[in-house]
Amino acid sequence: MNFAVFASGHGSNLQAIIDALKKKKIKTRLALVVCDRKDARALQRAAKAKIPSVLIDPQSFPNRELFDREAVKHLEAARIDFIVLAGFMRILSPYFIKAYEGKILNIHPSLLPAFKGAHAIRDAFAHAVKVTGVTVHFVTEELDHGPIILQESLAVSSQDTLASLEKKIHGLEHKLYPKAIDLFARGRLSFAGRKVVIR
């Protein structure tokens, strides 16, 4: 199977995926990196790993769907079977989600359904939670709502700062996401309604 990673920024999850591929922890092929920001380090990481990438500038399109239609053209050309969102900071249009229904994975830095949205780590820290974590889920039209594939928790200590909590969360993401990607690539995931079955 071929998959694409969509990224917008630093690309630390992309790097974790690249590293897992090199160690044969993900048994499939990363065929394309899609990025929406020309200054994103994710593009540099893709180039260093000799993975094809494409930059799609959102300002060239009047709406989300036209941006997504352009992305789909590149995905079809690369014969992409499924999508992995890794710090991609755009909300996908219903058109895109229908085009790859059940084939889009996302990672979120909280134990969903708690702390949805773009500032989950900050929000969890501000609420002084004792436990938080990471969720890998399928993407649906409702934000941060799709069926949950994997979750793992971690304790928040009284000594944690926002920066130290972010570091712990990212470390957990880098461990959990490659595992979920490999499960999907090997056909071990299925879901009905909200229930995901791992075979």
Spacing of C-alpha 195 from chain mean position = 20
Q: Look up residue 10 and give its amino acid.
A: H
Tell me the C-alpha distance between 40 and 184, whole Å: 27
Tell me the C-alpha distance between 148 and 155, whole Å: 20
> Contact 83/104 with Cβ under 8 angstroms?
yes
Give the Cα-Cα-Cα angle 6, 16, 52 (nearest 5 degrees): 45
Set 10, 74, 108, 170: catalytic member: 108
Would residue 137 show up in a list of annotated catalytic residues for this protein?
A: no
Q: For residue 25, what are its two tokens? A: 């922890």
Tell me the C-alpha distance between 67 and 60, whole Å: 8
Tell me the C-alpha distance between 97 and 102, whole Å: 8
> Contact 183/149 with Cβ under 8 angstroms?
yes
DSSP 26: S
**Rounded to the nearest 5°, which phi and psi values hold at 151?**
-140, 145
Which residues are catalytic, by number?
108
